[in-house]
Structure 1
Amino acid sequence: MKNPCETVMTPPSIAAQVHQDVARALQEDLGSGDLTAALVPAARRAKARILAREAAVICGAPWAEAALRALDPAVQLTWHVAEGQRCAADQVVLEIEGEARALLSAERTALNFLQLLSAVATKTATYVEAVKGTRAAIVDTRKTIPGLRLAQKYAVGVGGGVNHRIGLFDAVLIKENHIAAAGGVAAVLRATEAVAAQAAFIEIEVETLAQLREALDAGAKMVLLDNMPLPTLREAVQLNAGRAILEISGGVTLDGLRALAETGVDRISIGGLTKDVKATDFSMRIQELA
């Protein structure tokens, strides 16, 4: 019977992004060719093991697989920890058998994706666990590594978080500068009628209870409460009375997260999920076959 962890399945939209990300990363690393791997005989095969040096939520398997298969389409991969599962420190997460040169050349690219995306998924899972039992969802932002936004947002999902808008093209988030430029809260909300059909959602950021009241009176259905202290947030939830989806943003830390969630807001967006991540430590060890 086939090991269910042997092959990682991904949605078509992510599969296309994986291919693009990996092709770009391999070109960046290999350029005209791997001069060091060329020292190994072309016919030599090898086995390798990827170990997680610390406990983590495994994420990035599709990218790691794609990097290895790009250089050796016949490579054999056996996952011992599936995408989204937790591993222990020093646990073998993947066993590989294939062309020695290919394994050596793909090593860093495969590990780079695993270390970044596992870090994002692990951090997200920690934040999700901290708000467990409340109504608050943990949401990402656009504060991502350039060129890797979809990969990082995928990792947030693996960690149990929720994706906010992908970019400026798919939803409306009206911030203080938009409000100032448009002539006020009511005026900018009226202007959204022109783009409403193209937007997945329309959200407006407010900094005071007066602005929240104005936004609600103007028909706002989604409001971002920016950098409000806890007592004000509680008042905001009471004032809202379920009329709009309420999201918190700004200065969110893990230590204060539970208290924010217990105010009764619907969403807490955290740029640090994708911006301030410490890479998970992985290593690959190779054993010659023939």
Structure 2
Amino acid sequence: MKLHIEEIEHLIDQALNEDLLQGDITTQNIIPKERMATALMHTKESGVIAGLEVAKAVFEKIDSSIIFEKEVEDGAFVEKGKVIVKMTGSYTSLLIGERTALNFLQRMSGIATETKKYADQTVGTKTKILDTRKTLPAYRHLDKYSVFAGGGTNHRMGLYDMVMIKDNHIKMAGSITKAVDQVRAEIPNSIKIEVETTCYKEVQEAVAAEADIIMLDNMDNELTKKCVDFIAKRAKVEASGNMSLDRIKSVAETGVDFISVGAITHSVSALDISMNFTSV
């Protein structure tokens, strides 16, 4: 997944506006405008970095003359204490942008770091870790980019780019078969249809309806394996629901293609990153 700064530029503008409004009344009344400085961003814990271009864009909004030098790239795993960015420019501008840049960078790196933990549990299997729509409102592009940087796979971006037939849709349509047929009659063949199932009988119906992807929702490993064997590659298989880190490996070993994990975006902890001045 490629990060397009122009798509999230409004978020940077909003973040700077809520922090600055009338300006930084502390910095601007203490630091001389002409004072130059060098600052380093470094990690205070080990993790995967994501969001460097966003941090750069924050400083560029404030002062285009700041020299922003990346020491690593997004997706890199770094140890505690690693310098990830070196910046040179106006002391005032660097201070003004510090917190906003770190807020973006820390959250995005936290998501990437958590995603890697889950992805590491699938090594040796064909299973990929999927994200979900359980993202911070308005920050979906950033959250999903961070998942990608951490080794995960992006699922649908929203309600518009893939069909997801869930229990309430099935209730309204009357059955899985009717729901799939209704949707298929209205959408292009290029759009994938996924169906949520909760039991073996529903899986059988979803296969008969020729769903492209079948989600096994909140099933134990024994039932998951039984369903995977029955589907027999006639559709892609996604496992979902209560996917804690300590369960990922055993679920992957059942042969599912995907495991979706909402926690990598909705319950993430920011990666601790700080910025310190080395010369003023």
Identify the TM-score tier after normalising by the shorter chain: over 0.9
Distance 1:268 1:35 in 2: 48
Which residue matches 1:15? 5
**Alignment match, 2:25:** 35
Instruction: Note the alpha carbon deviations across 1:203-250, whole angstroms, 9 max, x for none.
Output: 010000000101111111211100001110010011101100000000
Query: What secondary structure is seen at the aligned counterpart in 2 of 1:265?
Result: coil
Counterpart of 1:152 in structure 2 is 143
- Given the alignment, which residue of 91, 103, 107 partners 1:100? 91
What's the offset of the Cα at 1:199? 6.6
Give the whole-Å Cα distance in 2 for the aligned partners of 1:33 and 1:155: 30
| Per-residue Cα deviation, 1:97-153 (whole angstroms, up to 9, x for no partner) | 111111111101110111101011111111111101111110000000111100010
Q: Distance in 2 between matches of 1:136 and 1:128?
A: 9
Equivalent residue for 2:128?
137
Instruction: Map 1:160-179 to 2 at 5 A.
Output: 160-179=151-170
- Over residues 20-54 of structure 1, what are the superposed CA-to-partner deviations in whole Å (9 max), with x where a residue is unaligned? 32122111211222212212222211111111000
Tell me whether 38-47 or 253-262 shows the greater mean CA deviation: 38-47
Alignment counterpart, residue 87 of structure 1, candidates 62, 65, 78 = 78
TM-score by length of 1: 0.92
Between 246-255 and 26-35, report the one with greater CA deviation. 26-35
Shift of 1:174: 0.8
Give the RMSD, CA atoms, in angstroms.
Answer: 1.5
Distance 2:228 2:115 in 1: 25
2:101 paired with 1:110 = yes
Residue 5 of structure 1 corresponds to none
Q: 1:195 to 1:55 in 2, by over 3 A?
A: farther
CA deviations on 1:52-104 (whole Å, 9 max, x unpaired) are 00011111101100001111101112222222111111121111111111111
Secondary structure at the residue paired with 1:196? coil
TM-aligned CA distance change 1:200 to 1:29, over 3 Å: farther
Tell me how far apart the structure 1 counterparts of residues 186 and 20 of structure 2 sit (CA, whole Å). 44
Q: Please say if residues 54 and 280 of structure 1, whose CA atoms lie closer than 8 Å, have aligned partners that are also in contact.
A: yes
Q: How many residues align?
A: 279
Deviations 1:179-220 (A, max 9, x none): 111111111011112442287421010000000101111111
Contact 1:18 1:62 in 2 (8 A): no
Identity in percent: 38
